[in-house]
Amino acid sequence: MFERLGLIGCGLMGGSFALALRRAGLVRHIAGFSASPSTTQRALELGVIDTQAGSAAEAAAGADLVLVAVPVAATETTFAAIGATLGADTLLMDVGSTKRDVVAAAERALGGALPCFVPAHPIAGKERAGVDHADAALYQGRHVILTPMATSGASQLAKAQAVWTALGARLVEMTPAAHDTTFAAVSHLPHLVAFAFIDGIARQPDGQAILALGGPGFRDFTRIAAADPRMWRDIFLANRQELLAQLRAHQQALAQFEQQIVAGDGAALEQLIAQASGIRAAWHMDSFKPGT
């Protein structure tokens, strides 16, 4: 049981964490702060938080659990604002989609509070952001990646593992570098492709007419293109080297398909399609087992 959650960022991810913690009976009081006062007010109206804080430092003060759920580009300034308020036993976590930059920000900004920090990335979300979409079940059955630092306190790591497990999450531990390489491939590049695909159609002379005829396949392929632009801008820039490496690899893969189409080589084209189809048919979202 935590006495007080300091929630910094009362949007979808932070709001869902607060609701899940409350539903599980793991917190007595939740103080929330968002850069937009209207977001904090809405979180209060929805019962996501109990009190509005006037600043990130005020939200974190006296909290034994602090969750930073802000865009990754705002992480360092947030850490700098709250570092001096954290107690020795406080658990501090983030929910950022990139990790090497977050770890570097913590090392620069947290000072003596660095042992409090256990980096985390829940593999959950919705294409629609905002506290109005917060969901107490968002993390149920989903992977949460922990990338503990050498400086992370043993008690903080144990508490991080316990709280996510209590919320129904499935824990995986990785290094920050391995995390960023992996999620450049399975998250960041797919979002980039979805954005570029929509943009590429919309720029064509009959783009709007083409979009109007999209069916279920188009809907499913482009769902993530409705995601928050500012958040994804920050993610792309924070993980740019790994993202660019994946982009180049997939440009080569597309070139292979183009080569066979230009050549009219049906057998080679079918082989490429069959290989991809077989891999996708064997995949399912919960197939990962830690240690494999």
**251, 86 contact by CB (below 8 A):** no
Cα separations in angstroms, 191 against 131, 213, 281: 22, 22, 21
Q: What is the per-residue pLDDT for 285? A: 75
Q: What is the per-residue pLDDT for 246? A: 98
Q: What is the per-residue pLDDT for 26? A: 98
Q: What is the per-residue pLDDT for 203? A: 97
Q: Which residues contact 197 (CB under 8 A, 6 or more apart)?
A: 221, 222, 225
Task: Kindly list the strands in the beta sheet with 170-173, ordered across the sheet, starting from the edge strand earlier in the chain.
Answer: 120-122, 143-146, 170-173
Question: Which token pair is 277?
Answer: 């189809």
The pLDDT tens digits along the chain (292 residues) read 999 999 999 999 999 999 999 999 999 999 999 999 999 999 999 999 999 999 999 999 999 999 999 999 999 999 999 999 999 999 999 999 999 999 999 999 999 999 999 999 999 988 788 999 999 999 999 999 999 999 999 999 999 999 999 999 999 999 999 999 999 999 999 999 999 999 999 999 999 999 999 999 999 999 999 988 999 999 999 999 999 999 999 999 999 999 999 999 999 999 999 999 999 999 987 655 544 3
Q: What is the per-residue pLDDT for 129? A: 85
| Distance between CA atoms of residues 90 and 137, nearest Å | 25
CA of residue 218 relative to chain centroid, distance: 24
Q: What is the per-residue pLDDT for 289? A: 53
Which domains occur in the chain, in start order?
2-174 (3.40.50.720), 178-282 (1.10.3660.10)
Q: Report the predicted TM-score, pTM, of the whole model to 2 decimal places.
A: 0.91
**188, 243 contact by CB (below 8 A):** yes
Q: What is the per-residue pLDDT for 38? A: 97
Q: What is the per-residue pLDDT for 122? A: 98
Question: Whose structure tokens read 């042992």?
Answer: 115
